[in-house]
Amino acid sequence: MNFKTWIKTITFYDILVGMKATMSHLLHYRSITLQYPHEKRTLPDNYRGMLALLRYDDGTEKCVGCDLCEAACPSRVIRVVSAEVPGEPTKRYSKEYYMDMTRCLFCGMCVDACPVDALGMTREFEWAVYDKRQLHLNKEQLLAIGDRSFPVREKQLELQHPNVAFFNVAFKNLPQKPV
Amino acid sequence: MTELSLRLAVTFAQIMAEMGIVVITIATMTYFERKVLGWMQDRMGPMEVGPYGILQPVADGIKLFFKEDITPAGANKAMFALAPILTVVTALIGFAVIPFGPNITMDVFGITVKPFVVSDINIGILYILAFASIGTYGIILGGWSSNSKYSLLGGLRAAAQVISYELNVGLAIVGVILLAGSLSIVEITEAQTGGFWHWFIWGARPDGFFPIHTQIFAFVVFVISAMAETNRIPFDLPEAESELVAGFMTEYSGMRFAFFVSAEYANMTLVSCVAASLFLGGWNAPYPGTIFGYVGLEQLAWVEHIAWFAAKVYFFLFVFVWIRATLPRLRYDQLMRFGWKVMLPIALANVIVTAIAVYFFPRG
């Protein structure tokens, strides 16, 4: 141990350096935390929050009951019971749609998989509940989340543009190709 | 009314006043510590209860008062109940000999009273050391009687740590006692009158400026050992959260837990008072006399003296928090090695050097 190290040891030099650091934080105090329930941080644009089912602007559900979201889900959150639309044999819808949000990891793969953009990720994240059964959501609850998070709805598929996907549109509603 | 009952009444009033001050200091310290610790770590500290969380101590007190009082199965019930009482009583009882104002006397209905010290006994510092040792029993009993392995380990650590560091506290004080020639804290403080160069940390003789009797090594040893004796970070091994849950307090809840916590803060305040009285001149201002005395308000000088004492005590309390924000916890063998192989030789050498210096250059 040379003389310089010895002096540093007996004067607690390293401890004093640390105390200087804490004191400078006290003097230049600027909090990096937020008072959470009162202040909330701004979420990033691509924030992936609570999942929701969406509707068209006339109030009909977008979901066509194709089960692709159920197949895409890595955590087996989604369960779809598909059925025909009564009176329209070519058109299907999801008779029942369940999401077990206790297992969801918010990867967004179901949203990517959906062919008709019937699923969306909202910016809601305050979903703490006292009973975890409350996180087993049915179709009405998911549609309600979509209604309050996406007030601007898309038009029916066949009314958007003639070149939009043709499948799953009732024959009587097929847009006419311009001749 | 006999003289004895009058004396009892006056002493009781003094004790009540002093306990009020100490309890308010403890409550303030719980808030102050969390706030300063938060600021040093770029957080805000308590913010919810009242403006800037100022009512947090009240809320904590109410919460702890109404919490369930749990006694673990297999605990020794009598010892389990005794331990927090022993700890908090011994922590508060030491304040009886602390003079927090000048040594003046006043007449109350014909009996002589010293208003700023409850009891000026001639072995004041010995009394504080004795009760600090008994306070350790509270920790050891609390750890042993809980019937929990974490508590027992915390109690064992506390026993070893507090006893070995108490030795250093005692030896660091010996130098001051040699200089003052008295064990009474009032007389030790009075021996440091007349400017900061007469404080025992510098130790100039009453007739000079040269710090021939400096106790700065004893001061450093005392502050570090006091930190260890009050189980503060970085010496908080008896209650190491990350290893022992809460050490000896693991099984305690409600008011008994509150007793342990307030005992810790009371001990902090007590060692701060002792350090201020012994090394930093107690109620003495760092300049000779008082400003009130110079402008002709001699009867108000006690206000200035009390303000200086409070400033010194709160400076020490701030240093306690500052150290806590800075340093991590020591390992157990480092703690013991530091106490026995570093602090003890310094304290012993300080005693010998001071004794020789006082012999060849006697004070006054």
pLDDT at position B1 is 64
Per the structure, the complete domain to which residue B322 belongs is given by: 3-360
Q: What is the pLDDT of residues B317-331, one digit of tens each?
A: 999 999 988 988 888
Q: Is the C-alpha dihedral spanning B236, B238, B242, B246 positive or negative?
A: negative
Q: Which of B206-210, B227-231, B275-279 has the largest mean confidence?
A: B275-279
Question: Quick one: average pLDDT of B211-237?
Answer: 85
Task: Count residue pairs from A and B with Cβ separation < 8 A.
Answer: 34
Residues of B in contact with A32 (CB under 8 A): 42-43
Q: For this complex, say whether ipTM is above 0.90.
A: no
- Cβ of B307 under 8 Å from any chain A Cβ? no
Whether omega for the bond prior to residue B72 falls within 30 degrees of 0, making it cis, is: no
- Cβ of B327 under 8 Å from any chain A Cβ? yes
- Cβ of B325 under 8 Å from any chain A Cβ? yes
CB contact under 8 A, B325 and A15: no
Q: Give the residue on B whose Cα is nearest the Cα of A32.
A: B42
Residues of B in contact with A24 (CB under 8 A): none
Residues of A in contact with B346 (CB under 8 A): none
Q: How far apart are CA B101 and CA B114, in angstroms?
A: 10
**Residue of B35, B37, B44, B219 to mutate, interface with A, max A Cβ within 10 Å:** B44
User: What phi, psi does B347 have (nearest 5°)?
Assistant: -65, -40
Question: Which residues are paired to A55 by β-bridges?
Answer: A61
Residue A130 has pLDDT above 90, yes or no: yes
CB contact under 8 A, A31 and B43: yes
pLDDT at position A77 is 92
Contact B117, B103 (CB under 8 A): yes
pLDDT at position A75 is 92
Q: Give the residue on B whose Cα is nearest the Cα of A21.
A: B326
- pTM comes to 0.81
Residue B183 has pLDDT above 80, yes or no: yes
Q: Phi-psi bin for B155: left (phi > 0), alpha (psi -120 to 50), beta?
A: alpha
Spacing of C-alpha B45 from chain mean position: 25
Q: Give the residue on B whose Cα is nearest the Cα of A17.
A: B326
Residues of A in contact with B41 (CB under 8 A): 25
Per the structure, the count of domains in chain B is: 1
Q: Is B321 exposed, middle or buried (0-12, 13-18, 19+ CB in 10 A)?
A: buried
- Shortest CA gap A20–chain B (Å): 9
Look at residues B166, B171, B176 and name the one whose alpha carbon lies nearest to residue B281: B176
pLDDT at position A178 is 63
